[in-house]
Structure formats: C-alpha cells, structure tokens
C-alpha cells in the first residue's frame, strides 16, 4: 500500500509543472491555462471584429450621408438650372422670334406674343414689353397697369436699362404692377433684358420682362438622419448578417415637417394673395429703409379654428398703429437739438421750437389701411405729417434759412449758402423774463400786410398795446418779425432794458425787403 501510494503520487506529479511563488508551491493544470488563453483570444478577436464592423459601418454611414447630400444638392442645382434655362429660352424666343421679327403694332406680333405665353403659362406668370420710357407696349395675360406705379424705378427695369448687354434675374418679389380682378399678384422671379423694338419705321429700345412663377418649394427627403430609428435598424441588419442597409427604406431619414400639400401652408399662401399684396417702402431722414410688405402683413392676420386666415379689422389696425408709431420714432424731429455753423463763423447748438417733422399717426394709419385694402404699393413713401422734413445739411437748416443772433442783435437771410440780406434789430426785453424772445428752430408760418398787433386785453376792455405794422412775418405763435416805425435805432444793447414784447423789431425799409424774399415754411433759427 505504501509503494502504491508513492507510485500514484509520482504519476500525479507528471501531469503538473511546479513553481514556487513567494516560497509557496503552486501547481497549475495545463488544461486550465489553455482554456484561459483561448478565452482571452476569443474576447480579443471579438473586440477587434466589433471595432472593425463599427468603423466600417461608421464609414458607410458617412459615405451614405455625403452621397445623399451631394445627391440632394445636385438635384436642387439641376432643378434650378433647368428652371432658369427654361425662362431664358422663353425670353430668347420672345426677343429673337417675335420682337425682332414683327412690328409691335401688328396683329401677328400680338398673336405670337399671346401664343408664347399660353404655351408656357405653367412656368411663367406674365410676359411684358415696355419701351425705354416705361410705356407698356404689350402684356400677357392682358392687364391694365395700376395707377401711380413708377415702372422706371422698378429694379428689374433699371438694371436692364443700365446694363443692356446682360440678362438680369431678380430676387423673389411680389409683382403687383397690374390691375385685374382675375389676375393674382403672386410671388415671382423676374428676368429682364434690353431689346430693340420694331415700332414703325424707326426701331426703339425697350425692356422685356418675363416673370417666372415662384410657388411653394416641394419637400426634400434625405437631408437629415433619424439617428434613433437608424441605429435600431442597423442592429437588426447586423443580427441577420446583412452587409448593406437601404437607409431610406429603413426610415433612416427625418421626414419633412411640412409638405407641399400642407393645408396650413396653403392657407397662408391663400391669405397672402388675398390680404398681403401691398409693398410700401420708406426711407428715413437717416437713410434707413423700412419696408411694410406681405411678410409682415401676414403676421397680423387672425387664424381661425378651421386653419384659415382672416383679417380682423380691429387687430389689424392695432398692429398697423404700432408699426406707424415705431415709424414715427424714426422720423419725428420737432424740437430736436441742432448744431450748425452761424454766419458769425461760430458753432451754435439750439433746441426747442416748432421746426421739423412729425408723423400724423392717425392719418398715416388710415392712409395705409386704404392702400392695403386696395392692394396698392408705393416706393419711397413720405408718411402723413405736420411740419416739414429737415434738411440733412447744417444741422437740419439746409442752405436757405433766416438766422437770428440775439446776443449780437443781428440777423442774416441766407439763400443757397450765401447771405442775401442782413440787418440789426431789437428783440424782446431781456431784463423781463415774460418778454424774452425764446431760442429754438421755427419756420415762417404766415405773411401778412398792414396788420395791427395787440397785446393782452385788460379788464377795462383795452389792450396792453396796439401797434400797426406794414409787414408781419410770424414764426412762434404771437412772436414774429415786423417793421417798427416808432424806433429810430436798432442793434447794440437796446433790447436789454427797452426791448420789444418778444417780437423782432426791424427798420421799415429792411422789413419790406425781407418780406418780399422770405416764404412760408422758411426755417428760422433763434439763438444766443
């Protein structure tokens, strides 16, 4: 039994390898080692394959994305090029096959012009011919021009006339130059060019206008990935051993939020064509352009429960009033501080007065409502107002004005920058605050001969004073310029203790000369 035990132990030890670790004997089963190594190799291979598959998929998605994007861009560019090419072909056909071939007054011209439009009515909104003076020579569909439309100031007209050798494409805009109840003023892209017109014996120059229809752009698929849905379908594809995946069929792209047949979008388009056809532009004194057009007007409409849009008159007027008030803040200048160079060579700053411009809010709102309701447009509109728009020169005074220097007791009538008349005067009594001639910028609001000037009426029924004058030129309520025959001297320091009741007293002869040269609305600046 003892020998057998030794033999068994010897055989057992043959299947082991012996190591010592920190003084302790360790024995490892070689089968366990092999299994461990194989497991680790399997894990490593799995990780590597996973990374390779991931990188391959990532690269595939990237390539798909690039390819899809390139396809979309190419498709859009191709569509645009095709549309623009078609419009150019229509323009060429009108020019070379009709305008240059037939007299504009002939029946054949009209027939061919009409036929060209009818053939291409799915692509173009209108086909129009003007001469260089802006006179309408031919149009399809047959329409009459709206009143007060300045054709020569239209960008498409101006550009074509300025650069006659080029064909000009406009930005999308509302073409509302015609008046026809059956003819919608839709958004268009205009192509214009200079052409030679056969009109009798002598050819004339003109402008050919082709308006391309500009409608709702169709939705585009394949422009943005739906990440969550795409990952889910990729996992399924990998589990099935597939090497390719159709991203479109796998719902891998985010679907458009709005389609061309979207009811709300079409409701907006309908409302725009019904209520929002006016385009009104202003240019403020500081050169800022303010535009009121369909893009703003449509936001003032009221949306109904059925998705349609209507014009609630009270809401619309409220929005329009807010617009005009903001407009007024860009225009109003009455009482503003002005800095100018006086005829004494000094720089002077003065504030207050009645001279300037003030928007009449209620009148302008009423005028705009009428224009919008009638689908009228206007370029460079000046709002309804009181006063006058100050010049941009010399602090708003311009080059023609009346300058009154109280300290020097001297005035200058300036015309086109040069002194036309000048004289000493006597102004309001400086030592009496109630009789001062106030600073400010005003304007002559009246001219009158042989007037009796009266002071405050006393309890006894008599006036404080009554002064007959031959020339009366008021600029600040009851304060104005006039002759003072009762004075023999003017200027110097007379005004301090013996001044007027606020008016500018003038020598009679000079008052007559001044009266003959000034006019209502002439700026008047008074300063010390």
Does residue 446 share a domain with residue 494? yes
Confidence of residue 3 (pLDDT cuts 50, 70, 90): very low
* Higher pLDDT, residue 176 or 215: 176
Alpha-carbon span 343 to 414, nearest angstrom: 9
Cβ-proximal residues to 423 (8 Å cutoff; 6+ apart), any chain: 410, 411, 490, 506, 507, 510, 514
The residues, ordered by sequence, that sit 6+ positions from 466 with a Cβ below 8 Å of its Cβ are 452, 453, 454, 455
Q: Is residue 337 part of a domain?
A: yes
Q: What's the whole-model pTM score?
A: 0.50
Tell me the C-alpha to C-alpha distance, in Å, between residue 182 and each of 179, 273, 297, 375: 9, 12, 22, 14
By three-state DSSP, how is residue 373 classified? helix
**Is there a single domain that holds both residue 197 and residue 270?**
no
Residues 336 and 416 in one domain: no
Three-state SS at 139:
strand
Q: State how far the Cα of 282 lies from the Cα of 263, in Å rounded to an integer.
A: 34
Range of the domain at 118: 86-213
Report the number of distinct structural domains present in the chain: 3
Question: For residue 173, is pLDDT > 60?
Answer: yes
The counts of H helices and E strands in the chain are 11, 27
Phi–psi pair at 235, nearest 5 degrees: -60, -45
Contact call for residues 188 and 172 (beta carbons, < 8 A): yes
Instruction: Write down which residue in 325, 357, 387 finishes a domain.
Output: 387
Residues 415 and 516 in one domain: yes
* Side-chain-facing half-sphere of 126: CA atoms under 13 Å: 27
Q: CATH no. for residue 186?
A: 3.30.450.20
pLDDT digits (tens, 9 = 90+) for 427-453: 999 999 999 999 999 999 999 999 999
User: Is 308's pLDDT higher than 90?
Assistant: no
Confidence category of residue 4, pLDDT binned at 50, 70, 90:
very low
pLDDT of 26: 46
Same domain, 268 and 315: yes
Q: Position of tokens 């060019």?
A: 193
Count other C-beta atoms under 10 Å from residue 142's C-beta: 12
Find the range with the poorest average confidence among 40-49, 212-221, 398-407: 212-221
Q: Which two three-digit tokens encode residue 190?
A: 């205009």
How confident is the model over 342-369, as a mean pLDDT? 95
What are residue 92's DSSP bridge partners?
none
How far is residue 10's CA from residue 6's CA, in Å, rounded to a whole number?
A: 6
- Examine the pLDDT at 336 and tell me if it is beyond 80: yes
Count other Cβ atoms within 10 Å, centred on residue 262.
Answer: 15
**Final residue of a domain: which of 213, 247, 271?**
213
* Whether residue 346 sits in one domain with residue 296: yes
Write the CATH number for 436.
2.40.440.10
Residue 382 near residue 351 (C-beta atoms within 8 A): no
> Within this chain, do residues 330 and 432 fall inside the same structural domain, yes or no?
no
Say how far apart CA 222 and CA 102 lie, in whole Å.
50
What does the alpha-carbon distance between residue 417 and residue 419 come to, in Å, rounded to a whole number? 7
Q: How far apart are CA 228 and CA 453, in angstroms?
A: 89
**Structure-block tokens of residue 36:** 């461990």
HSE-CB at 9 with a 13 A cutoff on CA atoms is 6
Measure Cα distances from 486 to 184, 268, 426, 454, 508 in Å.
Answer: 72, 75, 12, 15, 10
Q: How confident is the model at residue 20 (pLDDT cuts 50, 70, 90)?
A: very low
Is the pLDDT score of 229 beyond 80?
no
Does residue 39 belong to any structural domain of this protein?
A: no
Q: Is residue 228 part of a domain?
A: no
- Residue 58 makes CB contacts below 8 A (sequence gap 6+) with none
Instruction: Decide if 481 contacts 514 (C-beta within 8 A).
Output: yes
- pLDDT over 50 (residue 48): yes
């Amino acid at each position: 039994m003892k020998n057998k035990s030794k033999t068994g132990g010897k055989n057992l030890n043959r299947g082991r390898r012996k190591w010592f670790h920190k003084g302790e004997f360790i024995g490892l089963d070689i089968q366990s080692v092999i299994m461990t190594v194989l497991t680790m190799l399997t894990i490593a291979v799995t990780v590597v394959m996973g990374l390779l598959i991931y990188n391959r998929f990532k690269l595939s998605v990237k390539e798909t994305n690039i390819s899809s994007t390139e396809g979309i861009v190419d498709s859009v560019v191709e569509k645009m090029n095709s549309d623009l090419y078609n419009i150019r072909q229509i323009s060429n056909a009108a020019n070379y096959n009709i305008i240059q071939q037939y007299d504009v007054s002939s029946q054949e011209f009209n027939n061919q012009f009409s036929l060209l439009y009818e053939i291409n009515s799915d692509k173009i909104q209108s086909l129009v011919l003007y001469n260089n003076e802006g006179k309408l020579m031919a149009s399809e569909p047959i329409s009459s021009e709206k009143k007060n439309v300045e054709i020569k100031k239209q960008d498409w007209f101006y550009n074509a006339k300025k650069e006659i050798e080029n064909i000009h494409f406009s930005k999308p805009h509302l073409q509302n130059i015609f008046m026809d109840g059956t003819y919608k003023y839709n958004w268009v892209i205009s192509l214009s060019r200079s052409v030679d017109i056969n009109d009798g014996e002598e050819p004339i120059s003109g402008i050919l206008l082709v308006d391309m229809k500009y409608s709702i752009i169709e939705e585009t698929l394949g422009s943005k990935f739906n990440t969550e849905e795409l990952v889910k379908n990729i996992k399924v594809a990998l589990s099935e051993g597939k090497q390719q995946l159709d991203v479109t069929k796998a719902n891998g792209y985010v679907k458009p939020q709005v389609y061309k047949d979207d009811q709300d979008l079409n409701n907006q388009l309908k409302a725009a064509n019904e209520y929002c056809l006016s385009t009104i532009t202003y240019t403020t004194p500081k050169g800022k352009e303010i535009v009121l057009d369909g893009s703003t007007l449509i936001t003032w409409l009221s949306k109904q429960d059925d998705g349609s849009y209507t014009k609630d008159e009270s809401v619309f007027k409220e929005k329009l009033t807010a617009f005009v008030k903001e407009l007024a803040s860009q225009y109003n200048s009455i009482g503003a501080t002005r800095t100018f160079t006086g005829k004494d060579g000094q720089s002077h700053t003065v504030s207050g007065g009645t001279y300037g411009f003030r928007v009449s809010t209620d009148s302008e709102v009423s005028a705009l409502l009428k224009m919008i309701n009638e689908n009228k447009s206007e370029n460079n509109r000046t709002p309804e107002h009181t006063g006058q728009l100050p010049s941009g020169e010399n602090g708003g005074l311009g080059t023609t004005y009346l300058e009154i220097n109280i300290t020097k007791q001297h005035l200058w009538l300036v015309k086109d920058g040069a002194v036309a008349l000048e004289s000493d005067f006597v102004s309001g009594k400086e030592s009496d605050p109630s009789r001062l001639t106030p600073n400010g910028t005003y304007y002559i609001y009246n001219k009158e001969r042989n007037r009796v000037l009266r002071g405050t009426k006393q309890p006894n029924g008599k006036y404080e004073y009554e002064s007959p004058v031959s020339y009366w030129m008021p600029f600040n309520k009851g304060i104005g310029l006039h002759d003072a025959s009762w004075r023999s001297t003017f200027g110097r320091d007379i005004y301090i203790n013996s001044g007027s009741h606020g008016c500018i007293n003038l020598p009679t002869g000079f008052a007559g000369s001044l009266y003959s040269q000034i006019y209502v609305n002439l700026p008047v600046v008074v300063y010390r």
